[in-house]
Amino acid sequence: MVAAVALGSNLGDREANLREALRRMGSLGKVTAVSGFYDTEPVGYLEQPRFLNAALLLESGLAPVELLRALLGIELAMGRDRAVVPAKGPRVIDLDLVMVGDVVMETVELVLPHPAMQEREFVLGPLAEIAGEMRHPVLRKTVGELLVALRTG
Active site residue 94: yes
H or E element, residue 66: helix 64-77
Active site residue 13: no
The residue from 23, 39, 81, 91 that is catalytic is 91
User: Which among 26, 105, 25, 38 is positioned nearest to 72, based on CA atoms?
Assistant: 25
Q: How far is CA 137 from CA 21, 28, 30, 98, 141, in A?
A: 27, 23, 22, 11, 8
The residue from 96, 102, 120, 140 that is catalytic is 96
Active site residue 96: yes
The residue from 23, 39, 50, 80 that is catalytic is 80
Active site residue 102: no
The residue from 14, 24, 94, 120 that is catalytic is 94
Give the catalytic positions in this structure.
Answer: 80, 91, 94, 96
